Structure 1
Amino acid sequence: MPTEGVPTSLVKTAHLFILATSWGMQIWVSFISGFVLINSISRHTFGLVQSKLFPYYLYSVLGCSFVNLALYTIYHPRNLLNNDETVQISSFFVCVIFSGLNAQWFGQTTTDIMFKMHKIEKINLLGQDVGLSTNREAYRRLKKRDSKYEKLSLRFAKYHAISMVCNLICVICNGLNLFYTATNLKTF
């Protein structure tokens, strides 16, 4: 593997630690904590918890991705990259872009829309139900009665889906980087 310099053990450890921490955090937040919380606490409490945790989560993924991209770039000059290294540096770059978009725009927009929906739901005595499917009919009726709520609901679904896709892309990119890092370990 041609490089501009051989990274020290500290740099290698930092790179792997940051990558593993970011990916582990992504797996926990994306596939475990949200499902546990939505089935354990009220809808509005869930939204409040997510609104407090997600900015930290999204900016942590962005920061980890940026540091890993920077570390990787320093030791892998563009003109000396092989195919595997090109995949790695590209996936670090993609993760920086998508986590940045999610942290700066999609995540915050989703939260802002959610809080507007919560205001309308509170007026209509909704939002204290636990679980997603417990009171779907009441929310459907509210959408039919209140065009503002229906528009907010559609916007929320759109931005939430975009945010989820950005997050999933970052999970895949970091998983790919973990795979390539693991396959390049000299000893086990």
Structure 2
Amino acid sequence: MTLLFSTATHPQLRSASVGRSLGYRAAEELGRQGGRSAPVLAWGMQIWVTFIAGFVLFRGVSRHTFGLVQSKLFPFYFYTLLGCTFLNLAIFASYHPRELLSAWDTVQIVSFFIGLILAASNASWLSQVTTKTMFKMQEIEREHGLGDEVGLSARREAYQLLKEKDAKYQSLRQKFFKFHGLSSLCNLAGVFCTGVNLACLALQLDSL
């Protein structure tokens, strides 16, 4: 004979079932809160590296020292940003099934995905080419006694003269500014994507 047990007629089983349900809901809510607060960490790092650290550093050290520091900082920055963005996307997607996505959820998940692509492009390609080209430029500049100046305006005429006389330097300079511009554009777009996510979170504060 098969005995059918019901949680309605067995208080201990019903209590265990409710406990498991509440535990699951608590874990789910914790995951949701983590997915909502995680973009703040990436945002703070992006704002500091993009708008503060570089400008302060450039005004305080020589050009070549600045380039060396940036060559060490940027790989760590971009790979950390890539990891944060992937984590944000994974957490958000795991608690927002595709069939239940609202308009705000769709905007957020698309922003996370675009930010992931931009961070990956910078980490694996753009910043690496920019750094390699910069070091080649610095080799030529050192041969002409340049690179120890502090600030963008120092010895500007000497750099202009080198650019006009050395075709290789001119070519490297063009390549550097091309990839540096693309890298900066991707980074700024990534900042915008994170900002969009934070804006979406702010507009949904009443549901937190």
TM range (shorter): over 0.9
Q: Which of residues 78, 81, 90 is equivalent to 2:101?
A: 81
Q: Which residue of 1 aligns with 2:172?
A: 152
- 1:84-123 equivalence runs, <5 A: 84-123=104-143
User: In structure 1, how many angstroms separate the alpha carbons of the residues matched to 2:151 and 2:63?
Assistant: 7
Matches within 5 A, 1:49-88: 49-88=69-108
For 2:49, the aligned partner's letter is: V
What is the letter of the counterpart of residue 186 of structure 1?
D
Aligned with residue 144 of structure 2, among 110, 114, 124: 124
Structure 2 length normalisation: TM-score?
Answer: 0.84
Alignment TM-score, normalising by the size of structure 1:
0.92
State the SS of the aligned residue for 1:126: coil
Deviating runs (4+, > 3 A) in structure 1?
Answer: 5-10
Q: Give the number of equivalent residue pairs.
A: 184
Identical amino acids, percent of aligned pairs: 51
Instruction: Quote the Cα distance in structure 1 between the aligned partners of 2:42 and 2:129.
Output: 23
In structure 1, list runs of 5 or more residues that go unmatched: none
Instruction: Say which SS state the counterpart of residue 76 (structure 1) adopts.
Output: coil
* Runs of 5+ consecutive residues of structure 2 not aligned to the other structure: 1-23
Q: CA deviation at 1:13?
A: 4.2
Q: Distance in 2 between the 1:168 and 1:23 partners?
A: 11
**Amino acid paired to 1:19:** P
Query: What's 1:24 paired with?
Result: 44
Selected match of 1:12 from 6, 9, 32: 32
CA distance in 2, matches of 1:138, 1:91: 44
Cα distance in 2, alignment partners of residues 17 and 60 from structure 1 = 17
Q: Which of 30, 43, 47 does residue 67 from structure 2 map onto?
A: 47
Q: Is 2:191 the partner of 1:167?
A: no
SS in 2 for 1:131: coil
Following the alignment from structure 2 to structure 1, what is the Cα–Cα distance between the partners of residues 28 and 100? 19
Q: What is the alpha-carbon distance in structure 2 between the residues aligned to residue 95 and residue 30 of structure 1?
A: 15
**Which one has a bigger Cα radius of gyration?**
2
- RMSD (Å) for aligned C-alpha atoms: 1.7
Q: How far off its partner does 1:134 sit?
A: 1.5
